[in-house]
Chain A
Amino acid sequence: EAGVVQSPRYKIIEKKQPVAFWCNPISGHNTLYWYLQNLGQGPELLIRYENEEAVDDSQLPKDRFSAERLKGVDSTLKIQPAELGDSAVYLCASSLGTDRDRAFFGQGTRLTVV
């Protein structure tokens, strides 16, 4: 079974430039999460999808961040324009959404804004 796939693994951009991250969840997983992880910290939820619907985006900085999950499968997270403080690891996770089911994580995208 293929796991959660994220790309790219690493991205270095200059501030004020746009950047996009892509996530392919495990087949059949209805729930998809995007997390932000700062160095030495735990992951913090940015947005959660149930199928194609964003059901929790309360922590997403909507002035510069956007996300989509077309057809309820792959998802893209975008930052425009990027700021120095956006440097972090962006983790994507998916789950079946049942009470006992754990979330499976991708390897993350490490973003460096210079």
Chain B
Amino acid sequence: AQKITQTQPGMFVQEKEAVTLDCTYDTSDPSYGLFWYKQPSSGEMIFLIYQGSYDQQNATEGRYSLNFQKARKSANLVISASQLGDSAMYFCAMREGDFGNEKLTFGTGTRLTIIP
């Protein structure tokens, strides 16, 4: 079974609109972390936001927020007021395992294109 599933290979969104990128995960560990990374055409993986499995509130970082629904095992990324510079690949990732033995697994990504 896939650990991280991103079902949207590509999305086109009008500039200034909000966009939601889907991510579901699969783990039996009670403690885990969920990450979103942005990868522009330059290739560098840029950290966006983190959500811990025990966090009570959804994580927010500027225009990024994570819609964490633990029972559904989903961790969708919401980008508000999208900008042209948001065009990139977006990867959801999960860290699981005990301290010193963690695994960081990535999904297949969503290519987001912002239309002017």
Residues in B whose Cβ lies below 8 Å from that of A99: 31, 33, 52, 95, 99, 102
Using C-beta atoms within 8 Å of the partner chain, give the interface range for chain A.
Answer: 20 to 34
Nearest residue in A to B98 (C-beta to C-beta)? A99
Contact A102 B108 (CB under 8 A): no
Least distance between A10 CB and chain B CB atoms (Å): 10
Indicate whether A33 sits within 8 Å of B104 (C-beta atoms), given known contacts A42-B91, A102-B50, A107-B42. yes
How far, in Å, is A14 (CB) from chain B's closest CB? 23
B5 to chain A, nearest CB (A): 11
Q: A50-B100, A55-B100, A98-B99 are in contact. Are A41 and B45 (CB under 8 A)?
A: no
Residues of A with Cβ closer than 8 Å to B? 31, 33, 35, 40-45, 48, 50, 55-56, 89, 91, 93, 97-100, 102-108, 110
16 additional A-B pairs beyond A55-B101, A100-B50, A110-B43, beta carbons within 8 Å, are A41-B108, A42-B4, A42-B108, A42-B109, A43-B45, A48-B103, A56-B103, A91-B45, A99-B52, A99-B102, A100-B33, A105-B37, A105-B44, A105-B46, A107-B43, A107-B44
